Structure 1
Amino acid sequence: MIDIKPDENVYAGYVDNVLAVWERATFDQMGRGVNWYRTANQLANMISGGDAAAGAGVLSALSANKSWRENVKLATRAFEAGEASGHFGDAIRKAARIMAGEAPETVLPMDAKTGNFYRCILNPTDPESVCIDRHAHDIAVGERYGNRDRGLGASGRYALLANVYRDAAMRLGAIPQVVQAVTWVVWIENKGN
């Protein structure tokens, strides 16, 4: 796991790694990344019958260790069936609470991945929220960790990596969630590189 308090050079290297992946984006990848959270917001609104907050909350609750395709399938099925399934118990319970009308902000850990993912989906122009998932971590550290523990449950490590994306975004004149989404698209699609 990476150090929660890296020295300046290591931190600068993390920012440079994010910027390097951003620079590799094709025109198509850039467009999809820039619009990723807007599209996710529309999806959240659609699957929930017009309640974007509930849709974003359920998508977020069911996102842990799932591909986006699987995540969408689980959330869509949850709204269609009126109950969540196909995930571990804690994720299903959180999704159920949100579908029952509880505010996602009270259900999800707002300082962790699922809370930030919810905020990014709900507000695609949020200038502060950054979804740090396993891919965002690997982009910043410049290494694919595979199944190794990244330690993202530690609030200090999560905050450190969120700040890496904020600093990269500042250098690019973009918002952090857009930088995360564009680099995510590039990283996912270029697994062999």
Structure 2
Amino acid sequence: MIPVKSTEEQRAAYTQAIVDKWNSATPDQRRRGREWYATAHALAAEIAEGNTHKGAGVLAALSANKSWSENCRLARKAFTEGTASGHVRDAITKANRIMAGTHPSEVLPMHIKTGHFYLCIADPENAEAVVIDRHAHDIAVREIYGQRDRGLGAAGRYNLLADCYRVAAREIGEIPSKVQAVTWVAHIERK
């Protein structure tokens, strides 16, 4: 697990790893990564009949430990059936509260991945929110952790990596969520 209080050298190394992954992305991966949250935003609006915040909230609530395709399937099913299912009780409860009208920011942990995922889907041009999931972590540390704990529930560790993505985004000239999405695409499609 990386230290919560990293040195300037460690931060610079994490940031450089992110920039290097961005630079390794193909033009097609960059295009798809740049469009990722806009596409998710359109899906959120579609499944929630125009209420993008509600759709984004349910997608985020049902995202933990699920592939994107499974996440989408569960969110569509929740809106179609009127109740969430197919996930752990906590995720289902959060999704159901959001579908019942509670604003996602009152339900989701806004200081870590799920809250930031909601923010990025709700507003694909959000200049601050950064999704730090297991892939974003592994990109920054240049190591595939597999099933090992990354400690991303700790706000300090999450914020450290989010800040590294923000610095990388400034260097690249892009918003952090698009840097995260492009590097995610390049990472999951690595050979």
TM-score bracket for the superposition, by shorter chain length: over 0.9
Query: How far apart, in 2, do the equivalents of 1:11 and 1:166 lie?
Result: 12
SS in 2 for 1:151: coil
The answer for the alignment partner of 1:4 in structure 2 is 4
TM-superposed CA distance for 1:11, in Å, is 1.1
TM-superposed CA distance for 1:183, in Å, is 0.3
Q: Does 1:133 align with 2:133?
A: yes
SS in 2 for 1:3: coil
Query: How far apart, in 2, do the equivalents of 1:5 and 1:132 lie?
Result: 17
The answer for the alignment partner of 1:157 in structure 2 is 157
TM-superposed CA distance for 1:175, in Å, is 0.5
Q: Does 1:17 align with 2:39?
A: no
The answer for the alignment partner of 1:113 in structure 2 is 113
The answer for the alignment partner of 1:98 in structure 2 is 98
TM-superposed CA distance for 1:6, in Å, is 1.2
- 1:42-57 equivalence runs, <5 A: 42-57=42-57
What letter is aligned with 1:20?
A: D
What letter is aligned with 1:84?
A: A
Query: How far apart, in 1, do the equivalents of 2:19 and 2:130 lie?
Result: 15
SS in 2 for 1:170: helix
**Structure 2 residues not aligned, in runs of 5+:** none
Query: How far apart, in 2, do the equivalents of 1:88 and 1:173 lie?
Result: 39
The answer for the alignment partner of 2:36 in structure 1 is 36
- 1:64-79 equivalence runs, <5 A: 64-79=64-79
Q: Deviations over 1:126-155 (max 9, x none)?
A: 100001111111111111100100000000
Count of residue pairs brought into register by the alignment: 191
Superposed CA RMSD in Å reads 0.6
TM-superposed CA distance for 1:8, in Å, is 1.3
Query: How far apart, in 1, do the equivalents of 2:54 and 2:185 lie?
Result: 25
The answer for the alignment partner of 2:168 in structure 1 is 168
Q: Runs in 1 of length 4+ with deviation above 4 angstroms?
A: none
What letter is aligned with 1:10?
A: Q
TM-score, normalization: structure 2? 0.99
Query: How far apart, in 1, do the equivalents of 2:92 and 2:115 lie?
Result: 15
What letter is aligned with 2:143?
A: E
**Structure 1 residues not aligned, in runs of 5+:** none
SS in 1 for 2:93: helix
Query: How far apart, in 2, do the equivalents of 1:187 and 1:78 lie?
Result: 30
TM-score, normalization: structure 1? 0.98
What letter is aligned with 2:115?
A: G
Query: How far apart, in 2, do the equivalents of 1:21 and 1:180 lie?
Result: 10
SS in 2 for 1:63: coil
Query: How far apart, in 2, do the equivalents of 1:185 and 1:30 lie?
Result: 8
Q: Deviations over 1:51-103 (max 9, x none)?
A: 10000000000000111111011101111111101100000000000000100
Query: How far apart, in 2, do the equivalents of 1:133 and 1:101 lie?
Result: 27
- Point out the more displaced range, 7-16 or 57-66: 7-16
Q: Does 1:181 align with 2:181?
A: yes
